[in-house]
């Protein structure tokens, strides 16, 4: 059951207070040398986190993008060229499927927002375990 | 073959056009006598004379068309006499011309009831351009008007009076209801209350007994003892066929006028034909152009020895211009015993619809539509083509309930040979073929087929057929906003306004579904800003803004922003220039002069934006809205203050205009410019609205564009004073804001606007939609609500917080941002 063990190894990083994040919008969180885009999709009472860098032209911009849905699937649109990415699995919904986003779990405790990173403090993705 | 035509009206002209098309040149001679001073013009659109069309615009064909086609045209020379023995005619000027065939197309004159006083000054008819010229001259002095006659033409004349500025106008109808010949009682009542809301006063059952006043009219007295004061009167009490010439020549005429003709349009002399409004066929005068054109066709066929007969004509009508839809088609008055009637009535909205269905429920016989005649063409075609009705015939009136009927679905059921444009006799098949050949807009279909070029009544249906054909080719273009809103931008705009909704979330809850997206969010956010002009970053609307609007700055390569303070008219003091320089130095910004005569500061970190603006605002700057779909700049040339050619002070006017419309949110950005003379140094004609000084004021141009598809602006109005110019701009901009699709510049909007510049001019200048007061008031409230949004951010710590790059490290800047050096300034590093 390697995948369950991985999940138990999630490290929860305190990002900010819930009301630091605009309703139905995003902020950028600094995690070590990384930038994470954190979204509060308040219409759906959902939280999402992805990498902040847009894979298209490598711009640190996704946290400033508009969020919304496409056929019910939550997504974010990059402010630069409006490419859209699924907030659920990070896949690019626009055209080129190969560039996708890393996504992270989010949990809320009281008014505190935590972003989960796998494998202790390392950036391990689920598939590599 | 020698053919002489008497009368150069619409039908007389059409006859010439058809004859020329049918016969080889040299096989005939054609001579035309017209009583009016000018060649035939479009009487159907006579009222457009008041909305800026000139007599020349209205001509059916230019004067040289006749000569070019070997037609001898004598205008201003009525025929006095026909000599049937000798087969000659004698004109007023003394010309004698012999004929093999004579065509009478003398039309009709307005019927003037024998009321004492009809000859007073200020009493007019409504039939010729001269009538309208005289009305225009008189209207400037008139305050209260009246129209005798509540029929089709009378109501058109009444609307014309309002357009002429005689807003206090009465309609006096002898019958117990308006349009007694076309619509039924209930329909008339609804129509009457609709017209009353337009400002008309309506009297029915009123018989005018005399017109009072010395030389000029001052009032009217009625047989019931009442009276009113008026200083202008139009008589539109019916038409009287011009049969005097025929009568004198011994041809048979009807007891109430009209030249009797058979099905070949021959009079009792078989070499003499009568067509148009002077002809009496089966005891009936056909007072519309379409049957007149058909008669012309019959005569041309007969002359070419072809078999064609006139067999009566559909007299369905739709009223133009009045601001209220009114239509009747087929037989509106079938007695209840001979049909089933379905009636829909909504007195609140002023809508009345009635259809008469054959007793077996299979066919539509006719009906009346008031308040909403969108279905007119469809119902007319269904009647004329005997299209079998659906199982629930009321569906064609009420629309099938449940499930959206696809747009233009109705035309699919029509046979290919259904005549869509009855004026020109164009069938559905011909229109489809034109669309398939690549004519995909109404304009190009009009050019290619001539459909909808005459009375224009079939234009909506032609559009439906275009849509239908495109769709069947898989080319259908949806213009709803996105998957979350089943509305076009214009519909959304109206709904949000009516429901007074102020936030994106509420709009989505009330009018949309799902959770929104990057397409509908900025559209709705922009509508909200256009409607209410509230701070765009409050009420949760911040996250519905496009990124540039959300950060009130333009995002640039690398993730930094640019800052553009407003510099109205491009005028700036040395002190302010120094401030810009100092701010740029302090925050390490790249500076460049823009094409709109201001200064752009690039390379600002998002977290520096509030501090930068704090300093700029302290020095008297305000937001330039370079980031918004909003008014950008009003460029100006130096004008009369310095330039030796300048006629007026273009800089002052540009500043006034820029300050009026600053912050105005629109479907797309708006640019403007003011030039001090015709040399046009400010390039005003390349702007959404541009102003050029003339000797007598300002010329206002609209719909210009630079960018990738440059287009020159078109003159909207000339020689305006400052106030009128601003009034027209108010109306133009508001009308654009209300009706344009998202991200559509004024040029594209105007190109797509049906009726184009003429229509726009009619709306903005002649108030043809009756909305100008509303447009001005809306603009004024936007102007009054203006606040610099950057000042609001600078003064509000909560809003300022949103400009930090890291939510959990507010003092840190984005470390990934990199610059390179070039010509002593920085530039963004290349795309990663
Ligand atoms: C304001 C207005 C709006 C209308 N709107 C519509 C509409 O929406 N739809 C519609 O179908 N119809 C409409 N009509 C009716 C339409 O204009 C007429 O049906 C059409 O013009 C008839 O054409 P005609 O050639 O028979 O007559 P006319 O256009 O009247 O032409 C007859 C011409 O013959 C000339 N003439 C007469 N006697 C002599 C002579 N002895 N010698 C030489 N010349 C002579 C007259 O001066 C005139 O110029 C409207 C009419 C008016 C006035
Ligand atoms: S447009 Fe005319 S007034 Fe303005 S600068 Fe040019 S020449 Fe002078
Ligand atoms: S950089 Fe994000 S879409 Fe191009």
Q: Is the pLDDT of residue B323 over 60?
A: yes
Q: How far is the CA of B728 from the centre of ligand 2 (A)?
A: 23
Considering only CB atoms, A16 lies closest to which of B542, B550, B808, namely: B808
Q: How far is the CA of B645 from the centre of ligand 2 (A)?
A: 6
Query: Which of A82-86, B73-77, B658-662 has the weakest average pLDDT?
Result: A82-86
Q: Give the pLDDT confidence of A55-91 residue by residue, as tens digits.
A: 888 888 899 999 999 988 999 999 888 889 999 988 8
Of all helices (H) and strands (E), which one includes residue B365?
strand B364-370
- Which tokens go with B546? 């496009």
The helix/strand/coil state of B599 is strand
ipTM of this complex? 0.84
* Average pLDDT of span B232-238: 93
Residues lining ligand 2, Cβ inside 6 A = B 637-639, 643, 645-646, 650, 675-677, 679-681
pLDDT of residue B507: 93
Q: Is the pLDDT of residue B399 over 70?
A: no
Q: Are strands A84-86 and A73-77 parallel, antiparallel or unpaired?
A: antiparallel
The helix/strand/coil state of A86 is strand
Which residue of B518, B552, B805 to mutate against A (max A Cβ within 10 Å)?
B518
Residue of A nearest to B537 (CA): A22
Rounded Cα–Cα distance for residues B796 and B792 (Å): 6
DSSP string, B70-110: TEEEETT--EEEEETTTTEEEETT--EEE-SEEEE---EEE
∠ Cα B216 B218 B220 (to 5°):
120
Residues lining ligand 3, Cβ inside 6 A = A 54, 56-57, 59, 78, 80-81, 83
Encode B526-542: b = buried (16+ Cβ within 10 Å), e = exposed: bbbbbbbbbbbbebbbb
Rounded Cα–Cα distance for residues B123 and B232 (Å): 6
Of all helices (H) and strands (E), which one includes residue A35?
strand A34-41
Query: Which of A33-37, B363-367, B605-609 has the weakest average pLDDT?
Result: B363-367
- Which tokens go with B159? 């609307």
Could you tell me if B554 and B548 are in contact, meaning their C-beta atoms sit under 8 angstroms apart?
A: yes
pLDDT of residue B639: 92
Q: What is the mean pLDDT of chain B?
A: 88
Could you tell me if A62 and A53 are in contact, meaning their C-beta atoms sit under 8 angstroms apart?
A: yes
The helix/strand/coil state of B201 is strand
Please return the burial class of B96, using the count of CB atoms within 10 Å of its CB with bins 0-12, 13-18 and 19+.
Answer: exposed
The helix/strand/coil state of B311 is coil
Distance, C-alpha B431 to centroid of its chain: 23
Could you tell me if A80 and A57 are in contact, meaning their C-beta atoms sit under 8 angstroms apart?
A: yes
* Average pLDDT of span A8-13: 78
Candidates B359, B364, B361; CA nearest to B378 is B364
Q: Are strands B279-281 and B259-261 parallel, antiparallel or unpaired?
A: parallel
Looking at the DSSP assignment, which residues form a beta bridge with residue B5? B32, B103
Q: Give the pLDDT confidence of B759-818 residue by residue, as tens digits.
A: 899 889 988 888 899 899 989 988 998 889 899 888 988 888 888 889 888 888 888 888
**Domains, chain B:** 2-109+241-303 (3.50.50.60), 112-237 (3.50.50.60), 489-545 (no CATH), 631-784 (3.30.413.10)
Q: Give the pLDDT confidence of B24-54 residue by residue, as tens digits.
A: 988 999 999 999 999 999 998 888 888 778 8
Could you tell me if B650 and B676 are in contact, meaning their C-beta atoms sit under 8 angstroms apart?
A: yes
Its pTM surpasses 0.90: no
Q: How far is the CA of B70 from the centre of ligand 1 (A)?
A: 24
Say how many C-beta atoms besides its own lie within 10 A of residue B610's C-beta. Answer: 21
Rounded Cα–Cα distance for residues A52 and A29 (Å): 8
Task: State the smallest CA–CA distance between residue B556 and chain A in angstroms.
Answer: 8
pLDDT of residue B398: 64
Rounded Cα–Cα distance for residues B708 and B745 (Å): 12
**Domains, chain A:** 21-110 (2.102.10.10)
């Amino acid at each position: 059951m390697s995948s369950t063990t991985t999940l138990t190894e999630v490290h929860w990083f305190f990002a900010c207070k819930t009301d630091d994040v605009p309703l139905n919008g995003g902020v950028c969180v600094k995690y070590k040398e990384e930038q994470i885009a954190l979204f509060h999709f308040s219409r759906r009472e959902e939280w999402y986190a992805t990498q902040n860098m847009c894979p298209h032209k490598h711009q640190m911009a996704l946290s400033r993008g508009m969020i919304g849905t496409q056929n019910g699937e939550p997504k974010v649109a990059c402010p630069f060229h409006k490419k859209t990415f699924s907030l659920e699995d990070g896949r690019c919904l626009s055209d080129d499927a190969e560039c996708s986003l890393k996504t992270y779990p989010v949990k809320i405790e009281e008014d505190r927002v935590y972003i989960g990173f796998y494998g202790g403090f390392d950036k391990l993705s689920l598939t590599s375990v | 073959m020698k053919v002489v035509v008497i009368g150069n009206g619409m039908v007389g002209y059409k006859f010439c056009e058809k004859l020329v098309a049918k016969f080889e040149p040299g096989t005939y001679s054609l001579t035309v006598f017209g009583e009016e001073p000018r060649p035939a013009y479009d009487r159907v659109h006579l009222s457009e004379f008041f909305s800026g069309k000139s007599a020349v615009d209205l001509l059916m064909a230019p004067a040289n068309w006749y000569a070019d086609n070997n037609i001898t045209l004598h205008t201003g020379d009525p025929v006095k006499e026909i000599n049937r023995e000798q087969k000659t005619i004698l004109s007023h000027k003394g010309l004698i011309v012999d004929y093999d065939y004579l065509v009478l197309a003398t039309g009709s004159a307005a019927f003037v009831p024998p009321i004492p006083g009809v000859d007073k000054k200020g009493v007019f008819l409504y039939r010729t351009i001269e009538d309208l010229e005289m009305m225009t001259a008189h209207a400037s002095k008139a305050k209260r008007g009246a129209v005798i006659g509540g029929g089709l033409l009378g109501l058109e004349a009444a609307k014309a009076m309002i357009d002429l500025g005689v807003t206090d106008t009465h309609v006096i109808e002898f019958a117990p209801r308006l349009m007694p010949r076309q619509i039924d009682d209930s329909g008339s009542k609804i129509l009457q209350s609709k017209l009353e809301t337009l400002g008309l006063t309506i009297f029915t059952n009123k018989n005018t007994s005399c017109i009072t006043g010395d030389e000029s009219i001052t009032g009217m007295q009625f047989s019931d003892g009442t009276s009113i004061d008026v200083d202008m009167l139009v008589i539109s009490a019916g038409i009287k066929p011009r049969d005097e010439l025929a009568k004198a020549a011994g041809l048979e005429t009807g007891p109430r006028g009209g030249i009797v003709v058979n099905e070949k349009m021959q009079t009792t002399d078989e070499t003499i034909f009568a067509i148009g409004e002077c002809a009496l066929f089966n005891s009936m005068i056909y007072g519309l152009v379409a049957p007149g054109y058909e008669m012309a066709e019959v005569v041309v066929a007969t002359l070419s020895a072809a078999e064609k007969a006139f067999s009566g004509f559909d007299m369905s009508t739709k009223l133009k211009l009045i601001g209220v839809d009114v239509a009747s088609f087929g037989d509106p008055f079938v007695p209840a015993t001979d049909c089933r009637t379905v009636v829909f009535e909504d007195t609140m909205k002023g809508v009345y619809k009635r259809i008469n269905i054959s007793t077996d429920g299979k066919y539509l016989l006719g009906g009346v539509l008031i308040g909403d005649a969108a279905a007119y063409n469809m119902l007319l075609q269904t009647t004329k083509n005997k299209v079998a009705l659906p199982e629930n015939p009321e569906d064609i009136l009420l629309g099938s309930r449940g499930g959206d009927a696809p747009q233009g679905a109705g035309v699919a059921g029509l046979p290919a040979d259904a005549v869509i444009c009855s004026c020109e006799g164009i069938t559905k098949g011909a229109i489809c073929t034109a669309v398939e050949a690549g004519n995909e807009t109404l304009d190009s279909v009009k050019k290619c087929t001539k459909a909808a070029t005459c009375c224009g009544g079939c234009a909506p249906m032609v559009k439906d057929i275009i849509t239908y054909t495109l769709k069947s080719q898989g080319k259908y273009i949806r213009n709803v906003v996105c998957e979350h809103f089943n509305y076009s931008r214009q519909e959304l705009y109206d709904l949000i306004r009516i429901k007074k909704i102020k936030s994106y979330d509420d709009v989505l809850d009330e009018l949309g579904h799902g959770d929104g997206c990057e397409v509908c969010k900025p559209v709705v956010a922009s509508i909200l800003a256009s409607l209410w002009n509230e701070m765009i970053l409050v009420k949760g609307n911040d996250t519905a803004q496009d990124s540039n609007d959300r950060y009130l700055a333009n995002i640039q390569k690398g993730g930094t922003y640019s800052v553009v303070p407003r510099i109205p008219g491009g005028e700036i003091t040395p002190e302010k220039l120094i401030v810009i320089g100092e701010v740029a130095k302090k925050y390490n910004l790249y500076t460049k002069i823009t094409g709109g005569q201001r200064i752009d500061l690039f390379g600002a970190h998002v977290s520096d934006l509030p501090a930068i603006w704090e300093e700029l605002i302290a020095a008297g700057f305000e937001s330039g809205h370079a980031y918004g779909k909003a008014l950008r700049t009003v460029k100006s040339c130096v004008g009369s203050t310095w330039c030796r050619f300048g006629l007026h002070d273009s800089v002052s006017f540009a500043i006034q205009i820029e300050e009026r419309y600053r912050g105005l949110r629109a479907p797309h950005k708006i640019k403007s410019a003011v030039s001090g003379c015709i040399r046009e140094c400010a390039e005003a004609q390349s702007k959404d609205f541009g102003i050029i000084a003339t000797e007598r004021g300002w010329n206002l141009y609209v719909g210009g564009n630079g960018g990738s598809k440059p287009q020159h602006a078109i003159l909207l109005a000339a020689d305006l004073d400052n106030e009128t110019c601003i009034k027209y701009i108010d109306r133009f901009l508001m009308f654009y804001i209300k009706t344009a699709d998202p991200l559509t510049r004024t040029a594209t909007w105007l190109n797509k606007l049906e009726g184009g510049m003429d229509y726009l001019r009619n709306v903005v200048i002649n108030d043809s939609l009756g909305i100008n007061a509303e447009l001005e008031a809306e603009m004024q409230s936007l102007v009054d609500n203006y606040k610099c949004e950057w000042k609001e951010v600078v003064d509000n710590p909560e809003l300022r917080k949103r400009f930090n790059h890291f939510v959990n490290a507010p003092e840190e800047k984005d470390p990934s941002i990199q610059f390179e050096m070039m010509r002593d300034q920085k530039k963004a590093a290349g795309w990663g």
